[in-house]
Amino acid sequence: MAKISLFDRRRRRVRTALKARSAGRPRLSIHRTSRHIYAQIIDDGAGKTLVAANSLGGKGADSAAASKVGKDLAAAAKKAGVTTVVFDRGGFLFHGRVKALADAAREGGLEF
């Protein structure tokens, strides 16, 4: 049996806790690489992505780019009729770019 990395253990722990208290709300899932940051709002019941945003068009993947992705995602979510979500940070720690994206999404009108 292969050893599970700390990142994967953290991701499983976060997702399990989210599923227990999501109450049918869509999930705001993020993915971060060294070059870009991606975010999407997923309806797990239907298995579909409702809204997505990423930093592919701009330069860099710093906190400013993450904030822009959060604002874009919140604007698109508002247009799609999504107001409350559950924040799924995956296996990423909640600081830096992840926190910047979450704060910008909250400022944009998403509740979580």
pLDDT tens digits for 34-55?
Answer: 999 999 999 998 999 999 999 9
pLDDT tens digits for 40-93?
Answer: 999 998 999 999 999 998 888 899 999 999 999 999 999 999 999 999 999 999
- Is 18 a member of any domain? yes
DSSP string of 22-85, one letter each residue: -TT--EEEEEE-SS-EEEEEEETTTTEEEEEEESSSSS--SHHHHHHHHHHHHHHHHHHT--B-
Residue 39, domain CATH? 3.30.420.100
- Is 112 a member of any domain? no
Strand 48-54 relative to strand 37-43, pairing? antiparallel
Q: How many domains does the chain have?
A: 1
- Is 33 a member of any domain? yes
Task: Please tell me the predicted confidence (pLDDT) of residue 19.
Answer: 87
- Is 24 a member of any domain? yes
Query: Domain range spanning residue 79?
Result: 6-107
Rounded Cα–Cα distance for residues 42 and 3 (Å): 29
- Is 1 a member of any domain? no
